Structure 1
């Protein structure tokens, strides 16, 4: 351990209540060093400065190539142009009926007028089924993918580079097997997002297998963990705010904006990384080229300097200030899909119930970094 640490992101106190810990750090030490996360940025202004200045702060903050997450312009620009149509209006309109059918099925299977553990009873199945349906993957992958996400989070928290590499290799092999099946299918290959990606062109060629695997890994990692966390966070928040439940039942057109605001208050994604290309100062702290910088979204989106009382729910906030899906050239390309899925799920859940209530006997158990939200949250459902 280095001689100087401003905080310990893996301490029991931080892991027990990470949002409160980030709030405290934002006030006490807005640019904080630790052995685990290196230079953590907690303030909205500092995070925005970094994500908007891709000339100074590179996204190549990992030893492994990640398409397009760890790329900088001009290479990033070309890959984003290839990827964004997969999340465009036409594709979202095409996927919406599938999305609604999955929501109807999952909510319809919930126990009537009883308690449900919302994470494994709804949130995780939701994320797995949505992702596999969007990519055209078989239902048989639901459980292996769920186990893989758990192993990835454990390995990331441990900081064990060998364990992290082993988990990545396991997932990559799953994707390679899927790609092999599609190549062997010939003319019978399904017309889905995965097959379309294989036939895409960039720089006058098809993407290599490694590039396709990287894209699909990024889509899946970003989708499964954060979407399950999002459902749990929103459902529990609504359970503890019955007046808001009633408002959204009466006017479902507010659900999308409400989801974004709830997830500003309690982020489903904790952090991302950047690295300076040259020596630079941020908030009075000197950073060197190659330093690892961790952008704490879960703190920046609660910055009092921007949002006032960070726990105040408001639907009239400037949406451009909400960093739920990032900002700048690396803003999440899958944001339209995430918003579509969450809107359908929360609308379906609210329309099927007259009240969501938290359990008096079982308080929620927080998830452990790098996950966010809840590991377990029990709700009482009163069905319509």
Structure 2
């Protein structure tokens, strides 16, 4: 990064921004679409600029972290063999096989929700679903639900505070969970459970099985992505449907429309705020000169609301906006787990809409938005009436 002092264009950690991120990003997209700050470095707010970065991995590298990041923090050709190993785990067949387990988890959770009594969607529903579904998909024991819940919260706090010591401690804690899971399977030998984690241990990449460091990095990336974004997505969906009862009823009557509707709601209100890149050469973006070696924040929460692409960003138009929606990214790093996330959210919402007649904000208590780098809500008091 250049040694020359820079005047920040904005402060992404300003209290007003953190409390209500989406409107703040809308304003920045209009005022300063390529902005510098000490916290996010270069932030890109426009759809076109973000697409340019996603398509040019030679100029905008994913190798941002000093730590191994499989495969998110890799560029081709290093990235390619890991990606080829991962993709079959999210095939149509794999999703069909996992769907009954997902539906059972979703149905039990919906049935456990209080009828006619206020509850917090985040604590009682969205976070619980994310934890249970991730452990079930990976073949992890239920005893990990609570430790992982605490771990996600600690990881979020450390990331927001940019506390490197705390982040390192959180990473070591997760590494310990993974070490135990791997060691249990090694000791079991041929009797190890035939689940996703065991299968990954047997995968061959570049002529050899993945090292524990590679497996831990891969599983950490999967877990962080799944637990935070699925939980955020569920809270966003229920908040939106509570505010739009006609749409809720329409989707209850026609669940075929659910997949597109879910993607569109999450376009408007992002569950995942951003990703990062680093420049490999001097480059100009949006009229700003960015030197080589500079970190860039791709702000999905803004790009997916760009008026030049979507018109009114709050207009619900699933079919019109489908092809430009960056909910799961684009390019070589498009989210490999998108089929899993889409299936999980669809099944959960099918079960919810089947069982729930009325959905509205609880009369007491105000919703609280999540704070960067998380989207959605940290607290969402809601009341439902079951059929």
- Residue number in structure 2 paired with 1:136: 139
Deviation at 1:2, TM superposition (A): 5.6
Q: Distance in 1 between matches of 2:219 and 2:320?
A: 33
- Residue number in structure 2 paired with 1:145: 148
Deviation at 1:3, TM superposition (A): 4.7
Of 369, 374, 377, which aligns to 1:374? 377
Q: Does structure 1 residue 235 correspond to structure 2 residue 231?
A: no
Q: Does structure 1 residue 173 correspond to structure 2 residue 179?
A: no
| Alignment check: 8 A CA contact 1:2 1:35 kept | no
Alignment map for 1:87-166 (pairs within 5 Å): 87-166=90-169
- Aligned residue for 2:209, secondary structure, equals coil
Of 314, 318, 321, which aligns to 1:315? 318
Alignment map for 1:155-304 (pairs within 5 Å): 155-304=158-307
- Residue number in structure 2 paired with 1:64: 67
Q: Distance in 2 between matches of 1:64 and 1:320?
A: 34
| Alignment check: 8 A CA contact 2:40 2:296 kept | yes
Alignment map for 1:13-32 (pairs within 5 Å): 13-32=16-35
Q: Distance in 1 between matches of 2:76 and 2:129?
A: 34
Q: Distance in 1 between matches of 2:93 and 2:210?
A: 23
Q: Which 10-residue stretch deviates more, 297-306 or 171-180?
A: 171-180
Deviation at 1:380, TM superposition (A): 1.3
Q: Which 10-residue stretch deviates more, 3-12 or 38-47?
A: 3-12
Deviation at 1:170, TM superposition (A): 1.0
Q: Distance in 2 between matches of 1:30 and 1:360?
A: 38
Q: CA RMSD in A?
A: 1.1
- Residue number in structure 2 paired with 1:84: 87
Deviation at 1:32, TM superposition (A): 0.7
- Residue number in structure 2 paired with 1:365: 368
- Residue number in structure 1 paired with 2:39: 36
Deviation at 1:242, TM superposition (A): 0.2
| TM-score with structure 1 setting the length | 0.98
- Aligned residue for 1:317, secondary structure, equals helix
| Alignment check: 8 A CA contact 1:9 1:34 kept | yes
Matched length: 384
1:233-256 CA distance string (max 9 Å, x none):
001100110000011011001111
| TM-score with structure 2 setting the length | 0.98
- Aligned residue for 1:14, secondary structure, equals helix
Q: Distance in 2 between matches of 1:295 and 1:164?
A: 21
Q: Which 10-residue stretch deviates more, 283-292 or 329-338?
A: 283-292
Deviation at 1:75, TM superposition (A): 1.2
Q: Which 10-residue stretch deviates more, 361-370 or 336-345?
A: 361-370
Provide structure 2 residue ranges, at least 5 long, that are not aligned to the other structure. none
- Aligned residue for 1:259, secondary structure, equals helix
Q: Distance in 2 between matches of 1:29 and 1:142?
A: 42
- Aligned residue for 1:316, secondary structure, equals helix
- Aligned residue for 2:36, secondary structure, equals strand
- Residue number in structure 1 paired with 2:353: 350
| Alignment check: 8 A CA contact 2:284 2:290 kept | yes
1:345-378 CA distance string (max 9 Å, x none):
0111111011111123322101111111101001
| Alignment check: 8 A CA contact 1:95 1:134 kept | yes
Q: Does structure 1 residue 326 correspond to structure 2 residue 329?
A: yes
Provide structure 1 residue ranges, at least 5 long, that are not aligned to the other structure. none
Deviation at 1:188, TM superposition (A): 1.2
